[in-house]
Structure 1
Amino acid sequence: MKYNPDGTVNRYKARLVAKGYNQKAGLDYEETFSPVIKSTTIRIVLDVAVGCDWPIRQLDVNNAFLQGTLQEEVYMCQPPGFVDADRPDYVCKLRKAIYGLKQAPRAWYLELRNYLLTVGFVNSIADTSLFILRRGQSILYMLVYVDDILVTGNDVALLNMTLDALATRFSVKDHEELHYFLRVEAIRVPTGLHLNQRKYILDLLARTNMLEAKPVHTPMATSPKLTITSGIPLVDPSQYRSVVGSLQYLAFTHPDISFVVNRLSQLMHSPTDHHWQATKRLLRYLKGTTTHGIFLKRNNLLSLHAYSDADWTGDSVDYVSTNGYITYLGYSPVSWSSKKQNGVTRSSTEAEYRSVANTSSELRWIYCWNIKTRLQNGISMSLDDS
């Protein structure tokens, strides 16, 4: 079942699925990797589109994997209920990909990519799921996440013509204004665009029986510090791992939980009751912040700046420091991270420099292709080690 943002059922879906787990590498498939758009790229393109008051369209591809052409020779048994009575022992030779095949996502991506390149799009080197089309002063961005596509640009006529051509080549649903994309609710108002994951949070709370929990004001207690040895090991760690995995995706619009989620993720191989209590506290924090998210402001300034920080030997077990940064495009946060550094630092100064180096690398990556492809003037960068 596919749901709307308000929880109502949008439609029912049924598919014939191949038993991909029976496939053998090198025999039934070669490459399986299929790139998807990075979250930072989505936020930056949306911020530029909202800041310049561009239209933003979203569309879904109908049965996307069925439109990918197979490069390998794959055979499948006749589906149950549809067996040819005259030739029951025959098998099906697949010309197109089918759901369940390990190479199906890659086959679809290559099919779409090859088409877009033939009509004039350029595949970004930094993010291979971002496609850019330029026609004189007109520019279009197309962001691809498997079968979910966002399109925006400064030329409405070119945008509509591109969408019509895409619908002619592939089976797609009618495009519409951006409102719900990758489980992110997008609410456009005269002053900008608000992104939140309210329904995602409510579903997570319902799954963990935390809908009636009492909210707290902070995502993590300051003491005692979580360590790998604190608490009693959980008998069944599957729920902990499932919830923490869900929380990782929630960080798409919640930079405030990045540090906590990173810390909890480091403990997934051996979770204890203390770790589970910390996870439940984070869920209680989310209970009170279901509608919180990030706001992309209209008429935003295209000044790129970042803040970085690091502790020194913050982990009492391996003495590795943690660094974090957040990057802003004008007033809008577009990129953030909190993670442990590689190796032990010999001083707080070294830990700070490593954090600054990681932040500078992120700034440069954003600046070189995301911003310079949009405007060639008026761009500034700054870094604050706060």
Structure 2
Amino acid sequence: MFLAYAAYMDFTVHQMDVKSAFLYGKVQEEVYVKQPPGFIDPNFPDRVYKLDKALYGLHQAPRAWYETLSKHLLENGFTRGAIDQTLFKRKEEKDTIMVQIYVDDIIFGSTNPLDQSESGILIHQEKYVKEILTKFKMADSHLVKTHVEFRHCLTPDVDGESVDQHLYRSMIGSLMYLTASRPDIMFAVCLCARFQANPKLSHFLL
């Protein structure tokens, strides 16, 4: 019905896949998990973690993700369908924006062509890049034409200081999300992602 309406109103339908969707869902119940390998606190190895957000494999994960996303849409002027509660729409004067959710897959479109232009996506991407650079204190970094040479061989920096692996993994995760629209950094990011478990190599890469 969504596609039939889009064809009738002659507007383009876009599709997006939310990366790691279930990890965004807020858990309402008290859920505890044991410390995973690589993240065990040496001072308290017998303690467990209390989850703030969902994990893949939890029965609550799909529902928590849907509630988080639907809450965001409702707070931004969308209304939920009375029959199909995965359909959201928002009216702006004579135009309508429609969003259809199926777990982590989303299709959306608008009767206003301006809402579907690439400019909005590019603006969002630019903001995200600035947030990453500010978060990791790299806003003053110098630009380079080539991020890293192909067939580049990495070696440990045995004399360097070990870096915070959680911080390093956070950087990689942020950049992985960006590679969906920035294929030019895909090789460099994937290369760095191979060495997340070695703090000496992490220091070398940074």
For residue 162 of structure 1, report the CA deviation from its aligned partner.
7.7
Give the 3-state SS of the residue equivalent to 1:50 in structure 2: helix
Other-structure match for 1:114: 71
CA deviation vs aligned residue, 1:241-263 (integer Å, no higher than 9, x gap):
xxxxxxxxxxxxxxxxxxxxxxx
Partner residue of 1:151 out of 91, 108, 126: 108
Paired amino acid for 2:68: E
Distance (whole Å) between structure 2 residues aligned to residue 66 and residue 132 of structure 1? 25
Aligned pair 1:57/2:14, yes or no?
A: yes
Runs of 4+ off more than 2 Å: 50-53, 156-165, 171-174
Considering only CA atoms, is the larger Rg found in Structure 1 or Structure 2? 1
- Give me the whole-angstrom Cα distance separating, in 1, the residues matched to 2:83 and 2:73: 17
Return the alpha-carbon distance in structure 2 between the equivalents of residues 88 and 45 of structure 1. Answer: 51
Q: Does the residue aligned with 1:72 lie in a helix, a strand or coil?
A: coil
Letter in 2 for 1:51: Y
- Paired residue secondary structure (2:43): coil
Match of 2:33 in 1: 76
What secondary structure sits across from 2:96 in the alignment?
strand
Structure 1: runs of 5+ lacking an equivalent: 1-43, 175-386
Amino acid at match of 2:12: P
Matches within 5 A, 1:1-386: 44-159=1-116, 174=181
- Give the helix-richer structure, 1 or 2: 2
Distance 1:47 1:84 in 2: 54
* Structure 2 SS opposite 1:73: coil
* RMSD (CA atoms): 2.6
What are the superposed Cα offsets for residues 122-162 of structure 1, whole Å, 9 maximum, x if unpaired?
Answer: 10001000001110111111000000000012112234588
Task: Say which SS state the counterpart of residue 27 (structure 2) adopts.
Answer: strand
Cα pair 1:123 1:132 within 8 Å, conserved: yes
How has the CA–CA distance of structure 1 residues 95 and 65 changed in structure 2, closer, same or farther, with 3 Å as cutoff?
same
Q: Percent identity?
A: 40
Residues 159-196 of structure 1: per-residue CA shift (max 9 Å, x gap): 4588677x97xx7955xxxxxxxxxxxxxxxxxxxxxx
TM-score (norm 2): 0.56
Alpha-carbon contact 1:151-1:159 (below 8 Å) kept: no
Counterpart secondary structure, 2:52? strand
Q: For residue 87 of structure 1, what is the amino acid of its counterpart?
A: F
Aligned equivalents of 2:27, 2:113: Cα separation in 1? 35
* Corresponding residue SS for 1:85: coil
* SS at structure 2 position matched to 1:79: coil
Q: Shift of residue 81 of structure 1?
A: 3.3
**TM-superposed deviation, 1:86:** 2.3
Post-superposition offset of 1:94: 0.6
Measure the CA separation in 1 of the matches of 2:34 and 2:98: 41
Matches of 1:122 and 1:109, distance apart in 2: 15
**Partner SS state of residue 70, structure 2:** helix
Measure the CA separation in 1 of the matches of 2:106 and 2:78.
Answer: 15
Contact 1:140–1:159 (Cα < 8 Å) also in 2: no
Q: What are the Cα deviations for residues 285-316 of structure 1, in whole angstroms up to 9, with x where unaligned?
A: xxxxxxxxxxxxxxxxxxxxxxxxxxxxxxxx
